[in-house]
Structure 1
């Protein structure tokens, strides 16, 4: 079994849970659409394995680690057999990486084209492997990361599937890779693209209208949205694009009962701890509330100060 994923591949993290099974299914389909190799990775933490085996000084944890490794290898090889039968043209490899999950995935992102993770259901991401890890990986990964969120519960009244791709636009140069990724995905899958710019999001969400935004702000926001989309609309002429100004937070929009998005695309801005404390992370809020896959695309770094 190889230990190093191929450069430019789609890396799919797998931990044998139903949530990572959904990620595997999405990642394989994406690889087929993009015609890219696939690397399915199981992260095996040596420290966690030793603790689980009550290692102590007996050395029992070493045998436990060997057993866990053998089980993971066998499970991944079984998955690969099924995947190759479904996608015979795909190049699929499997890996067991002995590394703590978040650090291992962040390292793998340096050479990956795309990384795919699963997540638990609604609310905070709390899965031991692909829950809290998701927040760290999406914030620090070098490549786009797709977190495959569970669909709406069957008891919910949902809009028909097929609303297309939703992308948040803020008009900065650093966010250009985010919009580029959204256009590329819409083109690959023949989806409609909705580009949304949130105006005075915190004020509108928590204070109410109160005269905000002003007419001047709305004119400026329309210009930002139009300018952001214009160049890429020319580059991807086959993508149907809608432009939308929204009052409120982006994570409120992703739960719109009238829409069933195929993919939501947001930026992975590398904010400092103080910013996250005072303002919070829109990206994490979207990841917690979306009912569809969410792509977090690294933005360009901004000057400090």
Structure 2
């Protein structure tokens, strides 16, 4: 590796868009001879305010472990596992994705890679857009990876998405 300070930081949630972004982060890391930092974030169920009122260390540990498992599953789903030819760090952070990713990507030679998402205006209004947050606040280059054509089609056709999920469930159960 050229320099450990050259990091490709990939925001991962487990969504189709984040899996696509993770694959792109691997391509960028190979091109730039960089280390991949795959990052997933989590917040306590009910939010931080609810946790402050009734903290439960056992539940916090469960939520953190579940996030770590989602991160490992994302590598399996995106690439069949972690590539042997790259240095990869798996990072689980507590907090909301946008601020935590921007906070982590604080070096001059970092590159932040996030999925652009396909959610509609209402969802962005309620939940916000991680990619927009990162683009407007990061001090390093940000690569937003647009959704694939298949992902865009699935997002806008909920019946097709349900049919695919149903067919996959049947296939997993051994039924035609």
RMSD (Å) for aligned C-alpha atoms:
3.0
Q: In the superposition, relative to structure 1, how do residues 190 and 233 fare at CA in structure 2: closer, same or farther (>3 Å)?
A: farther
Between the aligned partners of 1:253 and 1:208, the Cα distance in structure 2 is 20
Greater helix percent: which structure?
Answer: 2
**What residue ranges of structure 1 are gaps of 5+ in the alignment?**
1-159
8 Å contact kept, 1:197–1:246: yes
Secondary structure at the counterpart of residue 162 of structure 1: coil
Does 2:158 correspond to 1:304? yes
Corresponding residue of 1:188: 31
**Cα distance between partner residues in 2 of 1:247 and 1:253:** 8
Q: Report matched runs for 1:143-292 at 5 Å.
A: 162-200=5-43, 203-204=47-48, 207=49, 209-210=51-52, 211=55, 214-230=60-76, 232=79, 234=81, 236-256=83-103, 259-260=106-107, 262-292=110-140
| Inter-CA distance 236–253: structure 2 relative to 1 (3 Å threshold) | same
1:101-120 map, 5 Å: none
Over residues 117-156 of structure 1, what are the superposed CA-to-partner deviations in whole Å (9 max), with x where a residue is unaligned? xxxxxxxxxxxxxxxxxxxxxxxxxxxxxxxxxxxxxxxx
Structure 1 residues 216 and 283, CA gap change in structure 2 (3 angstroms): same
Q: Which has the higher contact order (CA 8 A, sep 6+)?
A: 2
SS in 1 for 2:71: helix
- TM-score normalised by length of structure 1: 0.41
TM-score (norm 2): 0.68
Deviation at 1:233, TM superposition (A): 7.4
How much has 1:175 moved relative to structure 2?
2.8
Partners of 2:37 and 2:90 within 8 A in 1 = yes
How many angstroms apart in 1 are the aligned matches of 2:99 and 2:137? 8
> Residues 258 and 271 of structure 1: is their aligned pair in 2 closer, same or farther, counting only changes over 3 Å?
closer
CA contact (8 A) 1:264 1:294 kept: yes
CA distance in 1, matches of 2:40, 2:7: 17
Structure 1 residues 179 and 225: CA distance shift in structure 2, 3 A: same
C-alpha displacement of 1:257: 7.3
Secondary structure at the aligned position of 2:13 is classed as coil
- Aligned pair count? 144
CA contact (8 A) 2:82 2:88 kept: no
Cα 1:215–1:295 shift into 2, 3 Å: same
